[in-house]
Amino acid sequence: MNAHILVVEDNPDNSKLVSWILEDEGYDVTCVESGERCLALLEKADYDLILMDISLPGISGKEVTRRIRQIPRLQKLPILALTAHAIEAEQQSILSSGVDDLLTKPINDDQLVKVIQRYIGT
Ligand SMILES: [Mg+2]
């Protein structure tokens, strides 16, 4: 069975790009456009990794991550943050929300795939 990645991203162009890259690598991909939808899906299904945009309408990616980490069965679920913030202090704040790693936009295909493979392999 393919690993299943949940992509939380409100920009449809970014979702499409990320899905295309990941499906090409053989992953199954589900996209949602908000943190609220992400939390709702996590109640019903299991995923192997989450790609989390930080800047979302409604609750932020940081807050979604904090809430996920409060759920015992999801404490070890790999979460990779995607952010356009290059500022060090903001990156520290994102990492302290409980994400495993942080990728900066624009998305680099090779970098994205390498980091995902580090957490779940192919
Ligand atoms: Mg966004």
- Residue 29 Cα, ligand 1 centroid: separation in angstroms? 18
Topology, domain 4-120? Rossmann fold (3.40.50)
Q: How far is the CA of 10 from the centre of ligand 1 (A)?
A: 5
d(CA 25, ligand 1 centre) in Å: 23
Alpha carbons 77 and 59: distance in angstroms, whole number: 19
The pTM of this model reads: 0.95
Q: What is the pLDDT along the chain (122 residues), one digit of tens a residue?
A: 899 999 999 999 999 999 999 999 999 999 999 999 999 999 999 999 999 999 999 999 999 999 999 999 999 999 999 998 778 888 999 999 999 999 998 999 999 999 999 999 75
Q: How many angstroms separate the Cα of 117 from the Cα of each of 13, 14, 109, 114?
A: 23, 20, 12, 5
pLDDT at 51: 98
Ion ligand 1 nearby residues (CB, 5 A): 10, 53, 55
Each domain of the chain, given as residue ranges in start order, spans: 4-120
Type of residue found at 114: K
